[in-house]
Structure 1
Amino acid sequence: MSRTLADTLSAQVTGPVLVPGDDGYDDEVAAFNLATTLRPDVAVGATSTQDVVAAVRAARAHGVPLVVHATGHGAEHPVTSGLLVSTRRLDAVHVDPAARTATVGAGVRWAAVAAAAAEHGLAPVAGSSPTVGVVGYLLGGGVGPFARSHGFSSDRLLGATVVTGTGEVVEVSAAAHPDLLWALRGGKHGLGVVTQVTVGLVAMPELYAGSWTFAAEHVEAVVRGWLAWTATADPDTTTSLAVARFPDLPVVPEPLRGRTVLHLRFARPGDAATGEAVAAPLRALAPVVADEVGVLPVSETARIFADPTEPAASWVGGALLTHAEDDLASAWLAALGPDADHPFLAVELRHLAGATSLDVDGGSAVSGRSAAFSLGVLAVDPRAFAAAPDATARALDALRPWLADESNPNLCGALAPRWHPWTQQRLDDVRHRYDPDGVLRSTGPTNPTNPLAGGEEG
């Protein structure tokens, strides 16, 4: 079947069509997360929307599932059969400075959009990592360093070119197929193969941002102080913290090797004087090991989080929290603090609310509008991956009084996303409308078993 399908597609598409054992197959299906194995029966490297049309129609005709190999961080779960479409060759970027928009292909990462927009004094409302793919990130909502000041990144999704599950091409906008635009703003998987998007850009002439590093002995003071500070935080300021326990290994930079540190990130669009005044209480929470907060070019926002840019093995989990107070700090420190027994390299809290709580005109399917914080855990040692799900479940159980019923697909990692029941039903209806035969499948988590179980089913 795979050879027959590959031969059929080879005559119809411009890009490569590969099966296991072919030269180039392993590179075509390689995932950013090296712990994820993708071994589809057939891989298609799309070079155009028409290549995607041919792939979808062939998958439908042969009765095989189709998954999209998104650009950037991509798949979290293995693919062992079916047809996989890689979008990395769809890499065009066009900025319209008058309209303040960028039209980009599905193979584009945020770094390319930021660079193109900066030439016109504009910026995308992007994620924390420059290597994240634009389309996959937007389809999940997208929480970046400007979440509180500018909302979910998907709020600026203005239009898209989509190949439906029946192999039809639709141009989506607020005027055409508004139901699909609503779903693409946060609905994530199974809505069609997006080959191009148009997003709104923003003017951000000044930015005061960066991160502080605190030593292990000050983690509790900083966590409690930061959570208290967020209660009255400036709505234009987005902050987050991460506690990292670095192993004593040669691959870790010498200053961090064998150490536990806390990184507190800060981003506020606007003038330096106001930013410095807003940041002053955080800077004073404890003695600072490294202070990298100051005036930052918008084109260098990746420095705020300094996320890894090279593929690596990882296990990620996450949840949303409804509120915070000192009791949350106590529970979080006991479950995930520097002295807690868990397998994670890093544990994170991000402050949301602000603009993320305001829905966009026309509405959206994004999950997490009512959340005040997000929680994330990261394991990078493959020997710890087996223990990570149970450890995450224990941590979430300890934090149950603060857990939201929803979970966001971009933030929950290996756990199953959860939408409000009304949103989930509408998403199911849209998926069936544009993919009636269920041709399109997900490379993300779909297992309904979730440590958040006990709330409303999403």
Structure 2
Amino acid sequence: MSSSVEKNSQVARFDAEAIEVLGKRVLGPVLTAEDEGYDAERAGNQIARQHRPEILVGATGPADVQAAVEFAGRHGLPVAVQGTGHALAAVAAEGGVLINTSRMTGVRVDAAARTAWVAAGVSWDRVIHEAAPAGLAPLSGSAPGVGVVSYTLGGGLGLLSRRYGYAADHVRGIDVVTADGRLRQITKSSDPDLFWALRGGRDNFGVVTGIEIDLMPVATLYGGGLFFDFASAPDVLNTYVRWSADMPEEMTSSVAVISFPDVPVLPPPLRGRHVVHVRIAYSADDLGAGKELVAPLRALTPFNDTVRELPYAEGGTIHNDPAVAGSFESSTTLLGELDADAVRALLDRVGPHAPVPHVVELRHLGGALARPAAVPNAVGHRGAHYLLNVVSRLERADIADVGPAHDRLFDAIEPWSTGGRALTFLNGARDTGHVRSAYSPEDYRRLTEIKAAYDPENVFRLNHNIPPAQR
């Protein structure tokens, strides 16, 4: 069998008859590079890296996915999956089969059971909308436009995480097409190994066509943002580190240092400015304590304060992540306890003096995130205290400068690193070699063994790949 590098660069050739046969089996579009609509079909949120498959299948449901996977298997091709939202992985596939699941948009909410079944192409804003009338909320992320399936199966760190844990901890069932073309409906009882691996191992084991998830009894938050000028950054970050260490599990928060471009789309107070943005999402049965908990941060005198009681459906305004596609590189690491030296090391590499403009975010972990899931899964490194993520927009920096700038930042913060990473935040092109670091050695070994059982030929390899164990 050829190496993964060789396989990833293969470009197969098919006659028109083979493509026509596939087209008759698939309800959605089947496209090649010569077809109109090919570029639009393969476009994703990340425009710096785009798949360029030999065959592109716009799946409308599980039967289309099965047909595409069977076609790939018959012709010895790798399979890549692209959903909605931010679902494009780091690898940009050349050749092979790309399955676009964005047309699969079904959502069913069971208010009595507090669950939702969600198809592969659905983004969180749809689930939030459907669950809100029942006073329920999903464990969605900071950006409501993110795709549910890729986010959840990568772990899923969002606005309610410290209270309820990772989104992957609250998956009840998964519909998945495995490398043999079989559609399986799996649960903790029916396929315990595959169920464990998918929840944390993402698209390494098949194409997920739908998941059943828990919904939480949350209708409102005490949340929003506190904005400070960068000159206050040392005081704000040091206060935040001390403050977050004492917060109850109901408080999920982060702090970001942001270099805003000078563009008209931004509010005048933010244009061309470096700011520190504290993000607050307090969820409790009684939100009354929220104001008191936030008081130490407010005492630092933000120039803008949007923290208030708000419907969960408006939770996307807390981080206010851009909803448009873009070209960017990102890097991430998990951290332990932090101190003033860690803050100094971080701020020495970011801000107006930095050669590359960044968004650098420190997310507070712990709480329910630190506890094992009720039904164990592959999400790793639950003992970390913080997640550090840095994003650089390539519209504002040369890609040749971004990698070294990220390296300098992570070298500076390395003394506080746990050595682990979070799979959901591995989005940079260089992150493909960091997959092992998202898991403990024992869990990674188990993942490779399960991979060997369900995908021994590594068909699903155009991703953050976990190769099959050698037998």
- Give the TM interval when normalised to the shorter protein: over 0.9
Determine the structure 2 residue equivalent to 1:360: 373
Residue 386 of structure 1 aligns to a residue whose secondary structure is helix
Among candidates 379, 382, 390, match of residue 369 of structure 1: 382
Q: Select the residue among 409, 417, 428 that pairs with 2:448.
A: 428
Hey, what does 1:276 align to over in structure 2?
A: 291
Matches within 5 A, 1:254-403: 254-270=268-284, 271-284=286-299, 286-336=300-350, 338-382=351-395, 383-403=397-417
Measured in 1, the distance between the counterparts of 2:29 and 2:185 equals 26
Question: Size of the alignment, in residue pairs?
Answer: 445
Letter in 1 for 2:125: A
What is the deviation of 1:42?
Answer: 0.6
Query: Counterparts of 1:136 and 1:3 in 2: how far apart (Å)?
Result: 33
* Residue of structure 2 in register with 1:37 after alignment: 50
Deviations 1:4-33, CA, capped at 9 Å, x for gaps: 442231121111100002111111101111
2:128 to 108, 114, 118: 114
Q: Is the 8 A contact 2:228 2:276 kept in 1?
A: yes
Contact 2:204/2:463 (CA < 8 Å) preserved in 1? no
**Paired residues for 1:106-145 under 5 Å:** 106-145=120-159
Aligned with 2:250 (options 191, 213, 236): 236
State whether residues 109 and 116 of structure 2, in contact with CA within 8 Å, keep that contact through their aligned partners in structure 1: yes
Give, in whole Å, the separation in 2 of the partners of 1:275 and 1:361: 28
Go from structure 1 to structure 2 and tell me whether the alpha carbon gap of 1:340 and 1:147 turns closer, same or farther (over 3 Å shift).
farther
Work out whether residues 91 and 108 of structure 1, in 8 Å CA contact, stay in contact via their aligned partners in 2.
yes
The residue aligned with 1:456 is: none
* Equivalent residue in structure 2 for 1:404, among 418, 423, 426: 418
Which amino acid in structure 2 is aligned with residue 292 of structure 1? Answer: T
State the partner residue of 2:8.
Answer: none
CA contact (8 A) 1:118 1:299 kept: yes
Match of 2:93 in 1: 79
**Per-residue displacement from partner, 1:265-306 (whole Å, max 9, x unpaired)?**
11111233211111111211x221111001010111111111
Q: Summarize the Cα distance change of 1:223–1:445 in structure 2 as closer, same or farther, 3 Å threshold.
A: farther
Q: 1:236 to 1:62 in 2, by over 3 A?
A: same
1:193 to 207, 210, 213: 207
Give the AA of the match of 1:421: P
**Aligned partners of 1:368 and 1:302: how far apart in 2?**
26
Q: In the alignment, does 2:230 pair up with 1:216?
A: yes
RMSD: 1.7
Partner AA of 1:327 in structure 2 = D
Q: 1:189: how far off? A: 3.0
Structure 1 counterpart of 2:150, one-letter code: G
Q: Which runs of 5+ in 2 are unaligned?
A: 1-12
CA contact (8 A) 2:44 2:84 kept: no
- Contact kept, 8 Å, 2:260 with 2:273, in 1: the verdict is yes
The answer on whether the counterparts of 1:344 and 1:377 sit within 8 Å (CA) in structure 2 is: no
For residues 134 and 150 of structure 2, what CA distance do their matches in structure 1 show?
25
Give the structure-1-normalised TM-score.
0.94
Asked if 2 retains the 8 angstrom alpha-carbon contact of 1:148 and 1:236, the reply is: yes
Contact in 1 for aligned 2:254/2:362 (Cα 8 Å): yes
Given that 1:64 and 1:82 are in contact with CA atoms closer than 8 Å, whether structure 2 keeps it comes out as yes
Are 2:461 and 1:441 equivalent residues in the alignment? yes
CA contact (8 A) 1:379 1:385 kept: no
Please state how far the C-alpha of 1:339 moved relative to its aligned partner.
Answer: 4.4
Does the CA contact (< 8 Å) of 1:228 and 1:326 recur in 2?
Answer: no
- Do the aligned residues in 2 keep the contact of 1:348 with 1:376 (CA within 8 Å)? yes
TM-score (norm 2): 0.91
Instruction: Indicate whether 1:24 and 2:29 are aligned.
Output: no
Pair 344,394 (structure 1): closer, same or farther in 2 beyond 3 Å: same
Q: For the structure 1 residues 344 and 443, does the alpha-carbon distance in structure 2 shift closer, same or farther, using more than 3 Å as the test? A: farther
